[in-house]
Chain A
C-alpha cells in the first residue's frame, strides 16, 4: 500500500473510531433521547417470528454467499447479529429455525448463531444440528437458488429472511417463497440482488440499513451508538463530497492546492 493511501486509511479509521466511541457514549448517557426512525422491515421481522411460532412452522434465514475472510466479513457480522436476535425469539418454539448458506466457510458462524440463540434461552437440548444447511453453489449461484426453492418447501418454512450476498438468482427463491405464501424480507450487498430484493421483498431493506438490525432488534447502547455513528459519518461524507464538487467548480484553487501543500 502506498504511504499516502496508508495515511488516508488510518485517518478514516481514526475518524470512524472517534465518532463511534462518541456516539456510543452519547447513546449510553441519553439512551431515551435517541429515537430510531420507524423501519418497516425491522418492524416486520418480529412479526414474522411470532407468526412462525403460532403456526408451528420454521423460520428460514440465509447468509447467501458472504464469506468471513474478505470485504463481506462485516456484512456477515451484521447479518449474524440480526439472525441471532431473531433466532433467540424463535428458540422458544418447537421448530428450530433453518439457516442456510452457499459458502462453506460461513458454517461455523452459522452453527454459533443458532446454538447461541438456544443457549440464551436455556434450551440447548432443543437445538437441531441439521438446522444449519450448506448448499454448495455453482456458477452464478443458481444451484444454491435451486436447492433453496426445494428446501423452503420441504422444511415447512413460514417466512424467509435473506441478508447477505445474493445475485439476481434471489428472484427464483423469492418467487418460490411467494408462491407458497411465505413472507420474505431480503437485502443484498450485490446491486443486482438488491434490485431483486427491492422488487420482491415484503418490506424494503437497502444498503447500509442491513447493518442497523442490531439497533432495531436489540437496542443496546452500543448497537444504537453504531447507527448514530453511521448517520454522523454519512453527514461527514456528504460534506466531503460537496467540498470536492465545490473544489472542482472553482477549478481546484482551494482544496486541491491545500492537499498538494501549496498556498
Chain B
C-alpha cells in the first residue's frame, strides 16, 4: 500500500511539474498560475498546523517542567493575548505589543549581531590559520574601516568600493551561479523521479 502511494505521489509530482513547465514556457501560464494558487492555498492551511505544533511543543514543556518552561509560558500567554486582542478588535493593543516589545527586542538583537560577527572573524583565525581565512579577515577590516565616516579613511573607502564592486561581486555571482545550477539539477532530478523526497 505504501509503495502504491509512493508511486502515486511520484506520478502526481512529475505530471504537475511537466505541465507547469510546459505552460510556463510554451503556454499562456494560466494553468501554472492556477497550480501556484492551489499550492499557496494549501500552504496557507499550514498556519493551523503551525499553531498546533507551537501549542503541543510548549504545553508539553510546561507540563513536564522542562528547562526553559517559563519562556514557553510567556510565549503561550503572549500568543493567546495577541489573538485575543485581535479577535476583540483591539488592534491598538496588538500594535502596542508589536512596537513596544517585539521591535525593541529585535533591535537589541540586531545590535548584538555586530559583536557576534566580530567574534566570528576572531574565531576564524583562532581555530586554524589558512590564507583564505586571513584574506577574509583583511577584507572584513578594510570594509569596516572604509565604512567609517571620517576623511582620514578616504583611501580605505576607495578600496572598499573597488572590493565590493569587483571581487566581492564576482565571488557572489560565482556562488549564486553554483546554487542556480544545482537548483536546476535538483529540479530535474525531482521531475524524472530520481529524488527521494517523496518516496522511500
- A residues with a Cβ closer than 8 A to B are 1, 6-7, 9-10, 12-13, 16-17, 20-21, 24, 67-69, 71, 73-75, 77-78, 80-81, 84, 104-105, 107-109, 116, 120, 129-130, 132-134, 136, 138-140, 142-143, 145-146, 150-151, 153-154, 168-169, 171-172, 174-175, 178, 189, 191, 194, 196, 198-200, 202, 206-208, 210-212, 214, 222, 225-226, 229-230, 233-234, 237
Asked whether B53 lies within 8 Å of A7 as measured between CB atoms, the reply is no
Residue of A73, A130, A199, A225 touching B124 (CB-CB under 8 A): A199
Q: Chain B 98-120, CB within 8 Å of chain A: the 1/0 string?
A: 00001001100110110011011
Q: Closest Cβ of chain A: how far from B46's Cβ, in Å? A: 5
**Main DSSP-derived SS at the B contact region:** helix
Give the distance in Å from the alpha carbon of A107 to the alpha carbon of B106 in the complex: 24
B residues 149-200 in Cβ contact with A at 8 Å: 172, 174-179, 181-192, 194-197, 200
Distance, CA A93 to CA B47, complexed state (A)? 31
Counting CB contacts under 8 A, is B96 at the interface?
no
- Could you jot down 20 A-B contacts, CB within 8 Å? A6-B25, A9-B25, A16-B185, A21-B192, A24-B194, A69-B36, A74-B182, A108-B49, A116-B200, A133-B57, A142-B109, A154-B68, A178-B123, A191-B172, A198-B124, A200-B124, A207-B178, A208-B179, A208-B181, A222-B194
Give CA–CA (A77, B53) in the complex, Å: 22
Contact with A along B50-64 (1 / 0, CB 8 A): 100110110011000
CB of B43 within 8 Å of the partner chain: yes
Q: Are A153 and B56 neighbours in the complex by a CB distance under 8 Å?
A: no
Question: Which B residues are in CB contact (< 8 Å) with A154?
Answer: 61, 66-68
User: Count of A-B contacts with CB under 8 A?
Assistant: 187
Q: Which residues of B contact A68 (CB under 8 A)?
A: 43
**With A171-B116, A171-B117 in contact, is A129–B56 under 8 Å at CB?**
yes
- Report the bound CA distance from A202 to B40 in whole Å: 37
Q: Find B57's partner among A12, A20, A130, A145 (CB 8 Å cutoff).
A: A130
A143-B102, A143-B106 in contact; A107/B57 too (CB < 8 A)?
no
Contacts beyond the supplied A74-B184, A196-B117: 9 A-B pairs with Cβ under 8 Å: A10-B21, A13-B184, A20-B185, A81-B197, A108-B46, A172-B112, A174-B120, A199-B121, A211-B185
User: B84 in the interface, Cβ–Cβ < 8 Å?
Assistant: no
Give the residue of B49, B110, B182, B197 whose beta carbon is less than 8 angstroms from that of A80: B197
CB contacts under 8 Å to A, within B58-106, are 60-61, 66-68, 71, 102, 105-106
Q: How far is the CA of A140 from the CA of B107 in the complex (A)?
A: 10
**What chain A residues lie within 8 Å of B61 (beta carbons)?**
130, 154
A interface SS class: helix
- Within 8 Å CB of B49, what residues of A? 104, 107-108
A130:B60 contact, CB within 8 angstroms:
yes
Residues of A within 8 A of B123 (CB): 178, 199-200
Tell me the nearest residue of chain A to B29, going by C-beta. Answer: A1
B residues less than 8 Å from A200 (CB atoms): 120, 123-124
For the complex, is B24 an interface residue (Cβ under 8 Å from A)? Answer: yes
- Shortest beta-carbon distance from A47 to chain B in Å: 16
Contacts of A229 in B (CB 8 A): 185
With A16-B188, A68-B43, A134-B53 in contact, is A6–B24 under 8 Å at CB? yes
Determine the chain B residues whose CB is within 8 A of the CB of A202 once the complex forms. Answer: 127
The 4 closest A-B pairs by CB, nearest first: A104-B50, A74-B186, A208-B178, A211-B182
Asked whether, in the complex, the Cβ of B120 is within 8 Å of the Cβ of A175, the reply is yes
Are B116 and A222 closer than 8 Å at their CB atoms? no
On whether the beta carbons of A104 and B46 are closer than 8 Å, the reply is yes
Report Cα–Cα, A168/B71, bound state, in Å: 24
Our pick among A7, A133, A211, A230 for the contact of B25 (Cβ within 8 Å) is A7
Do A6 and B175 touch across chains, with their CB atoms under 8 A apart?
no
Give the contacting residue for A153; candidates B39, B68, B105, B182; CB below 8 A.
B68
